[in-house]
């Protein structure tokens, strides 16, 4: 009798675990930064520049659709470098940047938690003059 009850309990435990596995697996695959899509953008300012990342939600995933950098402190001569996950990098033209003038690059990619989207500024001699200013997704 004990063997029968023990076997029944093990079978019941196995069936319960099978019933919950699909939901757990489904939650584990939804690793995009969905909470970030509740806002339209995030930004970070440091060293006289601001980096802003714009998000959108397609119903399933959160996407980064634009990254921009701008002068947050005075006029600057040089260029912005925007960079992010998976080796993505783009440079602006080298020119005079007025306060608030921005350089933007389109980047349609899924936003994953922990991804960094960054910018920095280089002077006309191609010397980095700001630190990396990053927005964390």
**Spatial contact of 69 and 129, defined as CB atoms under 8 Å apart:** no
pLDDT in tens, the chain (137 residues): 555 444 544 554 544 444 444 443 334 445 566 666 777 899 999 999 999 999 888 878 888 999 999 999 999 999 999 999 989 999 999 999 999 999 999 988 888 888 899 999 999 999 999 999 999 87
Question: Helices H, strands E: what count in the chain?
Answer: 1, 9
Contacts of 1 (CB under 8 A, 6+ apart): none
Tokens representing 113 are 């938690």
How many CB atoms are located within 10 Å of the residue 137 CB? 22
Q: For 128, which DSSP code?
A: B
92: exposed, middle or buried (Cβ count in 10 Å: 0-12, 13-18, 19+): buried
- With H, G, I as helix, E, B as strand and everything else as coil, classify residue 84: coil
Q: How far is CA 23 from the centre of its chain?
A: 25
């Amino acid at each position: 009798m004990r063997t029968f009850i023990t076997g029944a309990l093990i079978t019941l435990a196995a069936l319960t675990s099978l019933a919950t596995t699909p939901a757990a697996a489904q939650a584990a695959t939804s690793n995009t930064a969905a909470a970030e899509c509740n806002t339209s953008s995030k930004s970070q300012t440091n060293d006289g520049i601001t980096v802003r990342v714009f998000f959108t939600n397609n119903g399933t995933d959160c996407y980064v659709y634009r990254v921009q950098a701008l002068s947050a402190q005075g006029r600057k001569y040089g260029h912005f470098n925007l960079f992010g996950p998976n080796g993505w990098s783009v440079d602006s033209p080298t020119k005079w940047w007025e306060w608030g003038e921005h350089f933007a690059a389109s980047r349609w990619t899924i936003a994953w938690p922990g991804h960094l989207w960054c910018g920095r500024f280089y002077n006309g001699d191609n010397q980095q003059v700001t630190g990396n200013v990053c927005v964390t997704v």
